[in-house]
Structure 1
Amino acid sequence: MLPTAPPATGVRTPWERLPAHVRGELEAALGAPVAEAVTQRGGFSPGAAARVRLRDGRRAFVKAVSAEANPGSPKLHRAEARHSAVLPDHVPAPRLLASYDDGVWVALAFEEIEGRQPHVPWCADELVLVLDAVTELSYALTPSPVEALSVVDTERESFRGWERLIEADTEDGADQRLDPWVRRNLRALAELAAPWTEAATGDTLIHADLRADNMLITPEGRVVFVDWPHAVRAAPWTDLLFMLPCVRAQGGPDPEGLFAAHPLGRDADPRGVTATLAAFAGYLVRGSLKPDPPGLPTLRAFQAAQGAAAVGWLRTRLGPGLP
């Protein structure tokens, strides 16, 4: 039985506990002070995340973090600000309203989207909505309407997970936390993943982190994609591939059936998909074995569940090819 992904959880800081100068600068950029703030749960970002009502009646979603909460989070907030500021208006994503960066604290304010995250475990009708929205998102962002790094530029090293595990095996012995099938086939998996850089290259701007906690379904049934720090250029089917192990880990159906039936999956080169899936699985599995990062207590268990789902999907695609 596959492990179930725990809730995506970051340690939250209430709006009121942010430094006064951070709150003041963001309020000045928004043009009115915050009258009410409601902390939002879910999502892998520590720090503040709140829906706010301004004193003049307008509403926004604000997030803020410093390196004290997590050393890498300010960098991600800065990337999110850059990407969100240039997304075309037709993309189903919240508009960036204001930002603040003093080198220590980074704070962002977005238009508030009236909506909720998809139910987890996934239900069929909402999954259909999301899969259709992923298709539309890919079409809307092909070719990429903005300058962005390639997925190969950003993930070349992190997607060498199997190679890193082989190196660790050579130095310290096999990690006994690894699935026995994975442990037996580390070298074959590394070879299988090697061509992913060519296969995943493309000129579609992808979100690259599509999970239930990065989506909102509006009362009208529209899907809005939030949290864009990882946006990169890649092949049009990569967003779907990166998403489906998470869907599986959160109670969704078999990834292979979903991918094969999806317009983006049907058009993808099978060997390239398998190579990229192998590389992504290696990233997840190796990541899940690392120590818990500050402020993100469920990230490694979440990656472990995603990794198990990705490995299961890979085994389905390979059939009896590996013992």
Structure 2
Amino acid sequence: MLTLADGRRVFVKAASSEHAPAVADFHRREIAITRQLDTPWTPRLLDAYDDGTWVAGVYEEIQGRLPTQPWRPDELDRALATLVELTDALTPPPVDHALLREPRLGGWQALAAGGGEPVERLRTMDPWAVDHLEDIANLETQAPHALAGEALQHGDLYPFNIMLNDERIFVIDWPHAWIGAPHCDTVTLLSSASLSGVDPQKLAERHPLTRAAGKEQIDVTLAAHAGFLLRIATSVGAEADQNLVAMMTALGLASVRWLRNRL
């Protein structure tokens, strides 16, 4: 957070392509995407800088805070209600399709084909998932059809990418946006909310975006979401950020539990 000469406060994200090329690419994509977003629930890009090495995005300061964790029911209800409005505003997507990447989904097929230590690690986390690895991998193959749609999806919708104040919910950090079925972000958020002791199924049955989706669409979303997280979590080495690995493991297993209960 920076204070400008005129007293305004702004939020700046910056990275070097030489020292952190992946992060710099994320910033470039987020700048390009956010520049085309114009909703009350998304941050406003004020300026950007890119000299080929250093890239920086300057965003308006959001007067708010992260949601309380574990989730407070009233804050979760507000976030879920905002998703309905946001999804409506972003369908059809107001963003140039060429800016977007493929969704960060899937991993069970790679686990099933590779076997070895990642699968053994997974067995210590969730034996059921390994015992049903082929079935979940087959479910994942249906993703291109089951998750097709015309809604811009955030692609990384967890509590750490949500801010709120007394008036509004904001969804921040958009480098992983993709175009798909309207229910996908809601499933991701509900799955992560189960870590707060929330029953995601009960909320999904009431929420307009998940209620409108077919059972298979929800199942495939959960499978593809968990596969992405758990393939990485079980495959990385000791040099990886262990806090990030623990987070991915918890979120992936939460989706597997919900999927298991549904099946």
Aligned residue number for residue 176 of structure 1? 121
CA distance in 2 between partners of 1:111 and 1:252 (Å): 34
Bigger mean CA deviation after superposition, 65-74 or 251-260: 65-74
From 81, 103, 106, the counterpart of 2:55: 106
Identity of aligned residues (%): 39
Aligned length in residues: 261
1:27-46 Cα distance to aligned partner (Å, 9 max, x none): xxxxxxxxxxxxxxxxxxxx
Contact 1:199 1:275 in 2 (8 A): yes
From 82, 85, 103, the counterpart of 2:32: 82
CA distance in 2 between partners of 1:173 and 1:107 (Å): 37
1:130-182 Cα distance to aligned partner (Å, 9 max, x none): 1111111111111212222698x613xx534111111221x668423432111
Q: Give yes or no for the alignment of 1:217 onto 2:164.
A: yes
1:193-212 Cα distance to aligned partner (Å, 9 max, x none): 21111111111111111111
Contact 1:204 1:233 in 2 (8 A): yes
Q: Give yes or no for the alignment of 1:63 onto 2:13.
A: yes
CA distance in 1 between partners of 2:17 and 2:219 (Å): 37
CA distance in 1 between partners of 2:239 and 2:171 (Å): 26
1:216 CA displacement: 1.2
CA distance in 1 between partners of 2:43 and 2:239 (Å): 27
Alignment RMSD: 2.2
Higher helix share: 2
Aligned residue number for residue 41 of structure 2? 92
Contact 2:159 2:189 in 1 (8 A): no
Q: 1:101 to 1:229 in 2, by over 3 A?
A: same
- Gap regions ≥5 residues in structure 2: none
1:94 CA displacement: 1.3
Please, what TM-score do these two structures have when normalized by structure 1?
A: 0.75
From 22, 26, 36, the counterpart of 1:72: 22
Q: 1:70 to 1:246 in 2, by over 3 A?
A: farther
1:93-145 Cα distance to aligned partner (Å, 9 max, x none): 11101111223322111011111111011111111111111111111111212
From 174, 179, 184, the counterpart of 1:238: 184
From 68, 81, 84, the counterpart of 1:119: 68
Q: Which amino acid aligns with 1:197?
A: P
Q: Which amino acid aligns with 1:245?
A: S
Structure with greater Cα Rg: 1
Q: Give yes or no for the alignment of 1:198 onto 2:176.
A: no
Aligned residue number for residue 95 of structure 2? 146
Aligned residue number for residue 155 of structure 2? 208
1:233 CA displacement: 1.0
Q: Give yes or no for the alignment of 1:254 onto 2:202.
A: no
Q: Which amino acid aligns with 2:216?
A: R
**Secondary structure of 1:244's partner?**
helix
1:241 CA displacement: 1.2
Contact 1:281 1:307 in 2 (8 A): yes
Aligned residue number for residue 282 of structure 1? 227
1:307 CA displacement: 0.7
**Secondary structure of 2:155's partner?**
coil
Q: 1:296 to 1:55 in 2, by over 3 A?
A: farther
1:281 CA displacement: 1.3
Q: 1:231 to 1:283 in 2, by over 3 A?
A: same
**Secondary structure of 1:114's partner?**
coil
Q: 1:57 to 1:244 in 2, by over 3 A?
A: same
Contact 2:44 2:59 in 1 (8 A): yes
CA distance in 2 between partners of 1:125 and 1:275 (Å): 29
Aligned residue number for residue 27 of structure 1? none
**Secondary structure of 1:176's partner?**
helix
1:66-92 Cα distance to aligned partner (Å, 9 max, x none): 25664421111111001000112x341
CA distance in 1 between partners of 2:141 and 2:32 (Å): 31
Bigger mean CA deviation after superposition, 298-307 or 251-260: 251-260
1:297 CA displacement: 4.6
**Secondary structure of 2:97's partner?**
coil
CA distance in 2 between partners of 1:280 and 1:149 (Å): 23
Please, what TM-score do these two structures have when normalized by structure 2?
A: 0.91
CA distance in 2 between partners of 1:207 and 1:279 (Å): 15
Contact 1:69 1:294 in 2 (8 A): no
